[in-house]
Amino acid sequence: MRIGDAKQTYVADEAIWTTSTQKFWFSILLLGLLIFPLLANSYLLYLGCLVGIAVISTTGLNILTGFTGLISLGQAGFMGVGAYTVAWLSTNTGLPFPITLLLAGLMAAAVGFLVGLPSLRVKGLYLAIATLAASVFLHFIFAEWESVTGGMEGLSLEPAHLFGVTFRSDFAMYFLIVPLAVLAVLAARNLFRTRIGRAFIAIRDRDISAEILGIPLLRYKLMSFALSSFYAGVAGGLFAYFYRVVTPESFPLTMSIFYLAAVIVGGMGNLLGGILGAAFMTLVPEALKLLTAALTPFFPNAPVFMSPMLEIIFGALIVGFLIFEPHGLAEIWRRVRRFFHLWPFRS
């Protein structure tokens, strides 16, 4: 049972980790993330990178949809903007990755800002449709603006580099992606203990009250769109460095839905939920494929039977979560923590 965590100062009271237990487990997590690539095979390393990218993008969408209450179907489009920015810059200017990634984020933020403009007038599903339109429009630009985007063939690029170090292998990319993902989540965590983050939540919960408290709705909604798109842009930039080829088909509409599902399955308005959701959405389809492979020795026609089933099982899992765990994976995590906090008593 957790007791004796009284605080002497407000700084200590508002820290992210308030107990030494939390600090200990977070250190273990960081250590685990550090050791993982040394032990993992190339397939697990590849998955680790994918989850890292998904975590950054999902956290961004969580800021917008989960915390500010603005539904967006434009996340894949914003990631595309980031990816194309990185591809174009690294091919045409040879800038190192910290600068290209930053510019990718800023470019996506600028596009997100524009897409967010209707959000003062339209909410809910209508905003989803407006962002959907923007996403289709961006896809059109990726495919048709051939002089910059290379049309349907897309762009290929050199690996990320800095000070003579080249991030060519998945092993190297892991050490680029995962620290950025950790940083992205920590920054978001900071955001929600300061005035701007609170203003976002206020707009989600009751926008009229927010205005009465002196929060200009349009400015904060646009800020949320821009920040969310910045995250998407950086994630897209990492995506470009990871695959080293960017085509319009890299960022289909289903990808936007993928991220929205990650936010919902993980738990809207919960940063941990975003992480869990991103991992769930990335890993479960892979796990189902592995299951198929494992079944093949016993049922020779398992692939024939299972491959069309995968999508159905995956969909059913999501629906199941919505029904039985409407607050998302984060809620399960909260219950587990509660159990250990109260142990040996029961709630």
Partner 1 sequence: MNILEIDQLSLSFGGVKALEDVSLRVPKDTITTIIGPNGAGKTSLFNCISGFYKPQQGRITYQGKPLDGLRPPKRAGLGLARTFQNIALFRGMTVLDNIKLGAHVHMKTGLLGSLVYFGRARREEMAVREEVERRIIDFLEIDHIRRQPVANLPYGLQKRVELARALAMKPEVLMLDEPVAGMNREEKEDMARFILDIREEWGITILMVEHDMGMVMDISDHIAVLNFGKVIAEGDPGTVQKNPDVIKAYLGNSDIESLRRKLNPNREAA
Q: What's the rounded Cα separation, in Å, for the pair 101 and 90? A: 10
Phi/psi-derived region of residue 325, left when phi > 0, alpha when psi is between -120 and 50, beta in every other case = beta
Taking alpha carbons only, the member of 186, 136, 255, 147 closest to residue 15 is 186
Exposed e or buried b for every residue in 80-99, given b needs 16+ CB within 10 A?
A: bbbbbbbbbbbeeeeeebee
Is residue 205 a contact point for partner 1 (CB under 8 A)? yes
Give the residue, chosen from 51, 160, 202, 263, that forms a contact with partner 1 under the rule CB under 8 A.
202
Residue 218 CB, nearest distance to partner 1 (Å)? Answer: 10
Rg (CA), the chain: 21
Is 224 or 247 the residue whose CB approaches partner 1 more closely?
224
Q: Convert residues 251-290 into a mask of x (bound to partner 1 by CB under 8 A) and - (unbound).
A: ------------------x---------------------
Residue 13 CB, nearest distance to partner 1 (Å)? Answer: 8
Is residue 3 a contact point for partner 1 (CB under 8 A)? no
Is residue 190 a contact point for partner 1 (CB under 8 A)? yes
Residue 189 CB, nearest distance to partner 1 (Å)? Answer: 8
Q: Is 246 helix (H, G, I), strand (E, B) or coil?
A: strand
Is residue 212 a contact point for partner 1 (CB under 8 A)? yes
Give the residue, chosen from 128, 227, 240, 271, that forms a contact with partner 1 under the rule CB under 8 A.
227
Q: What's the rounded Cα separation, in Å, for the pair 161 and 158? A: 9
Is 303 or 335 the residue whose CB approaches partner 1 more closely?
335
Six token digits for residue 144:
């048709």
Give the residue, chosen from 40, 120, 133, 191, that forms a contact with partner 1 under the rule CB under 8 A.
191
Is residue 332 a contact point for partner 1 (CB under 8 A)? no
Is residue 197 a contact point for partner 1 (CB under 8 A)? yes
Binding segment for partner 1 (CB under 8 A), chosen from 29-37, 194-202, 281-289, 313-321, is 194-202
CA 257 to chain centre: 12
Count the Cβ atoms, other than its own, within 10 Å of residue 143: 16
Is residue 23 a contact point for partner 1 (CB under 8 A)? no
Q: What's the rounded Cα separation, in Å, for the pair 219 and 145? A: 31
Give the residue, chosen from 5, 14, 249, 311, that forms a contact with partner 1 under the rule CB under 8 A.
14
Residue type, 223: M
Is residue 328 a contact point for partner 1 (CB under 8 A)? no
Binding segment for partner 1 (CB under 8 A), chosen from 86-94, 206-214, 315-323, 332-340, is 206-214
Is 13 or 158 the residue whose CB approaches partner 1 more closely?
13
Do 142 and 135 form a contact (C-beta atoms < 8 A)?
no
Residue 201 CB, nearest distance to partner 1 (Å)? Answer: 6
For residue 6, which phi and psi values (nearest 5 degrees)?
-65, 145
Give the residue, chosen from 144, 146, 153, 211, that forms a contact with partner 1 under the rule CB under 8 A.
211
Give the residue, chosen from 102, 117, 133, 196, that forms a contact with partner 1 under the rule CB under 8 A.
196
Is 33 or 217 the residue whose CB approaches partner 1 more closely?
217
Do 236 and 149 form a contact (C-beta atoms < 8 A)?
no
Taking alpha carbons only, the member of 48, 18, 21 closest to residue 35 is 48
Is 215 or 329 the residue whose CB approaches partner 1 more closely?
215
Q: What's the rounded Cα separation, in Å, for the pair 231 and 78? A: 9
Is residue 214 a contact point for partner 1 (CB under 8 A)? yes
Residue 49 CB, nearest distance to partner 1 (Å)? Answer: 24
**Which secondary structure element, helix H or strand E, spans residue 256, and what is its range?**
helix 253-266
Q: Where are the beta strands (DSSP E) in the chain?
A: 155-156, 160-162, 165-167, 245-246
Do 201 and 67 form a contact (C-beta atoms < 8 A)?
yes
Six token digits for residue 143:
């495919």
Q: What does the binding site for partner 1 look like in residue numbers (CB under 8 A)?
A: 10-11, 13-14, 187-188, 190-191, 193-199, 201-202, 204-206, 208-217, 223, 227, 269
